[in-house]
A and B are shown apart, each in its own frame.
Chain A
């Protein structure tokens, strides 16, 4: 009954450091997404994937990279963290067929000092 699992839940980085956020889903969903949530701005799409081995840019992709080597996992990387990337990051997944809702993880709270 796990659904979408994000690790880690919290992280503090220094400017210039790198890190990878992991998202895992056990629902056999084709589509996976990474969003960032900032106060008063709703959710903004960073990158998404429609299947294993494919990724695409969303609204705010700069400074981030992603990989989808396995269907169940979607990784978000920050190569050189900046304070502007302080945010709450959410992963979501959905079926590729039909108009299905997204299922969300509980988020990763990331602070860049």
Chain B
């Protein structure tokens, strides 16, 4: 299953919102996760089940979608949110990741 993320880069001012998209080449039901990646750190699970926040994920992060179209929304970007974001499907093997969206400071 090929996961396609868009855009590749998103330039946002602190305090603004951001919307990241992830598309699957076939249905993954709601078995979709979002990870946050920062240099020198292991990826951090933010969202699983397409819309369930993992423990410790701030409420400003929300996920939606099912089937093939998914969205990660960050309502008001904080300085610590500027990072790479990856979607991953875990509906089928092999598990596959998208290529990532970099959220950078505008």
Q: Do A and B come from one complex?
A: no
| Chain A interface residues toward B at CB < 8 A | none
